[in-house]
Structure 1
Amino acid sequence: MARFLALPKNDPVIASLSMADVTMAPEARAEQVTRVMEARRRLGAQTRGPEPAARARMRSAEIVSHPEETTSVTGVMVFDMADPEELERLKTDLPNYEVVEDLPLSLIPPVRATAGHSEAEGLDLWHLDAVAVANARAAGFGGTGRGVGVAILDTGVDEVAEIAGRVASAFRLDRSTSEPVAIQTEDTEGHGTHVAGLVAGSQVGVAPEAELMNYIMIPNALGNISDFIFAIDFVARRPEISILNMSAGIPGFHGAMKSSVGLLKRMGILPVVAVGNEGPNTSRSPGNYTEVLSVGAANRHGRVASFSSGGSMVADAQSYTVPDLVAPGAEVTSCVMGGGYEAWDGSSMATPLVSGIAALILERLPTITLPDLKEEIIGVLQPLSGVDALRQGGGLLQLPSHMWQAVS
């Protein structure tokens, strides 16, 4: 028995949603969620789902998630089927869907760069200097990202001292029901804790009062596209979440997650995704989609880290480059599972710094629209001298100067 996804083609629900007038304030997001849910229900009533022939064939399949029967906002149907011939017939009977196999989705693995520290004193926080957060704080900037919701789709988050009280909620997928269930916060592998610290750590983090959602999407660093779809469906329905942070992907370009990521944008959520750690002329999906803020890694010497992915892309008749930007991602210190601190290398370390800066901007400008938030980030990047745009995108992440230079 293999698992498959039926992805809606030219989804009319997504096409009907306007981004321009939707702010990222929770109340505006809640209204957008309601609009999407109502549109899905109307579409289901109009179409009555798959054609009769397809419904008959699907009796031989085990339906895991069906948009007509759940509170799905993505419109993706997930099912298990054993017979390859029946699957091919089903594809013919579902002309409005693209049926794809559920592929593995894995953590973008970092490298532990230095030995750990047990205490917070004397930590190397070069990453905060590089993105102007340290200078801003020295000048009197008091932004903390307070109240801004950031979903960490990762291996989990351990409740260590550095981020004590910052995990507002925690969930993992119940595979027997394909529904997320609330849990006590935990980390299954350790990666997510390091990431969470860089968003909201009291010493190492950019936005120390952001509110984190710990969503275990890749337990023990492994998952599938369907796990991503279920996570997106859940997070998109949570008005308190404004930013999604993710450091997992499939090597190369795979479009199966593209429409769901596009839905996030139209619902006022900023997806911030690591591009990969396999070096030049490589990338991972969804970190290579135009719908995300694609993040690569820079080092302390003003260069792009050798492991950071990036390059030219051609997809959906578009030519573009990834990443969109770089942030500190080499020898970056954060908290680790069980307590203490370690410096790690990876685009996974760069990505939460971008999420943290986005949280600071949202704290200051809570009714900003998503396009304007992206412009606040992209518009102030610092180009790295002598570095090809294929490697750095627009340049190095910076806290917008208008948010702090007036303070001094």
Structure 2
Amino acid sequence: MQVILLIGCLMAGLTVANAQIWKKVKDRVKQTVENKITQKSQDVTTNAMNKAEGAIQGKDGQPAPTTVTGGDDKAVVVGGGNAAKSISDYKSYDFVPGDKIIFEPDISKEADAELPARFKLLKGNAEIQSYEGEKILHLDEGGSTSITPLMSTESYLPEQFTVEFDMSFENKEDYMRYANYFDVVFMKATQNFFESPVYRLRITSGSAVEWATGGHIRLAENLAKALSTDNKWHHIAFYVNKNIGKVYIDAFRVAASNTLNLGAEKMAINIDGRYGIKIKNFRLAAGGSDKYNKVITDGKFITHGILFDVAKSTIKPESTGTLNEVVKMMRAHTELKFEIDGHTDSDGQDQANLVLSQQRAAAVKDQLVSMGISQDRLTTKGFGETKPIDSNDTQEGKANNRRVEFIKM
């Protein structure tokens, strides 16, 4: 009897086990089918977007950037591939920074564990830290932190401006799984920073952004994953001209609106989550005039949009928007020839600055030639620190003096 009972128990156990196994098999098959359907849908969407982009290429042959706007709660995929880190990755980038820098704090000489000298702490905790051989601004984890540029006036944003900075979410498991939000808010001068903003960018859960009143815009999986888990630097950029506003993350334009509310005069950065973030290379610039009109009226144009690694002639990928603009102008006006002039600020030795400015001008020429401009239309010179256009006594003045000029020949 005991033997029969034992056999019965074993058979029952096997039946349950088999049932569980078959359930897992069925679940696995179901998941596989769903994945294939999802992948097929993504492939169709990607192909359609690629065809659309090909259909709207500019006259100069440059591929048009992916521009996506979303209505309320629209889930629109933007940004494909891996996080862009080279000029070739940025080939469709169209962001061009403003032509006069009004805020660019140099934190390289600030002491670790101190509050940032050029930012006002509104709440929480932010401090200067050394990270991978450079100074960065760290916004602390475990709560809510807000900072704003420390300016002499509460009203410092013009009608047309650009904002840029590099940001890294801290990868301690999966940052965005626990983060409530990351905001860049734009306010009226008379507003308290904790009132409803004129408009804002919000990155939510690492997979979507909200810009102005455009609703949710879903980021492509690779870009969303890179933002939340790779613990690397990502370039954030804003272009605003009255009611028009565009947002870029790395090489991708992730949101755009032509219905911004008017009246933004100051800004702040807010985080609220379990882990912190790192920020560096913050820059706020005004204006952004048409470069060809500058050439016609002034015989030259000045750009701060071609950026280089510190003390090197290596061009940063986010310079591609400005380079694309120059290429487009020279293709449209084939009579144009330019002398490319490199300029530095007064930091460092005079001779070293002269050599560096020459090397940077040559690097710009080489890059434009690689983009299809004939080399006989370009020459180069370097002037080091000898021709400042602003005072070298302030950080913003030095930033304005670090520039590339295109002189019509």
| Larger Rg belongs to | 2
Q: TM-score, normalised by structure 2?
A: 0.24
Q: TM-score, normalised by structure 1?
A: 0.24
